[in-house]
């Protein structure tokens, strides 16, 4: 990791484990501004982005795509500007030779709150569609809790000990996003 504004190629940066030996994200990225690349278990580039708090962004991605978050390459920027951040992001995508799946077909999965409505079972969908507003809200909260439990299990299986807390107000809308 370098803090100057030169554009280092991805090959010049070392792979960092997504989670440390304790199953946590590195605290050195809290409130760090920069560009990051996320790789899967096989070190295939899945997503490139920039953030004003890399730690929080990495936490969101881990929750949304735990099976795709194994390795990182990060460039911290000490004097950031959107132009510099965007330039590095685009350079890394170009260097990869193809647009990573998280920056194309799966972009919404990587960047948006989890929409539990698309994860409803057939039975849940029937209950939801037949209900009034209050019962729809209750159904969405129930489905959100089920999906949250599945996510917690997936994170545990992934070796994560990262504390996860979802925004309770969004659950009523059928969305899971970290608080």
Tally of domains in the chain:
2
CATH number for the domain harbouring residue 86: 3.40.1440.10
On whether both 99 and 139 belong to a single domain, the answer is no
Q: pLDDT tens, 143-169?
A: 999 999 999 999 999 999 999 999 999
pLDDT value at residue 115: 96
Among the listed residues 110, 21, 111, 32, the one whose alpha carbon sits nearest the alpha carbon of residue 74: 32
Is residue 2 included in any domain, yes or no? no
CA distance 81 to 5: 10
pLDDT value at residue 127: 93
Is residue 60 included in any domain, yes or no? yes
pLDDT value at residue 177: 95
CA distance 87 to 64: 25
Which of 92, 110, 128 finishes a domain?
110
pLDDT value at residue 1: 42
On whether both 96 and 168 belong to a single domain, the answer is no
Which residues pair with residue 115 across a beta bridge?
A: 175
Averaged pLDDT, 91-112: 97
Is the CB of residue 125 less than 8 Å from the CB of residue 150?
no
Question: What is the domain extent for residue 64?
Answer: 10-110
Q: In what order do the strands lie in the sheet with 16-17?
A: 16-17, 71-76, 34-39, 45-51
Averaged pLDDT, 80-84: 89
pLDDT value at residue 83: 93
pTM of the model: 0.90
Percent of the chain's residues with pLDDT above 90: 92
Averaged pLDDT, 123-130: 94
Averaged pLDDT, 40-48: 98
């Amino acid at each position: 990791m370098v803090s100057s504004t030169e554009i280092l190629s991805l090959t010049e940066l070392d792979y960092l484990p997504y989670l440390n030996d304790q199953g946590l994200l590195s605290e050195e990225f809290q409130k760090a501004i920069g560009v990051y690349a996320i790789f899967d278990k096989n070190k295939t580039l899945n997503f490139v982005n920039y953030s004003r708090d890399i730690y929080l962004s990495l936490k969101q991605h881990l929750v949304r795509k735990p099976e795709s978050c194994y390795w990182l390459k990060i460039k911290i920027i000490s004097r950031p500007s959107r132009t510099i951040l965007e330039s590095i992001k685009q350079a890394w995508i170009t260097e990869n030779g193809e647009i990573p799946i998280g920056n194309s077909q799966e972009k919404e999965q990587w960047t948006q709150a989890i929409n539990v409505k698309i994860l409803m079972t057939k039975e849940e969908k029937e209950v939801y569609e037949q209900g009034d507003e209050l019962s729809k809200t209750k159904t969405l909260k129930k489905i959100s809790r089920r999906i949250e439990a599945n996510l917690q299990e997936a994170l545990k299986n992934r070796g994560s000990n990262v504390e996860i807390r979802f925004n309770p107000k969004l659950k009523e809308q059928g969305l899971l996003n970290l608080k």
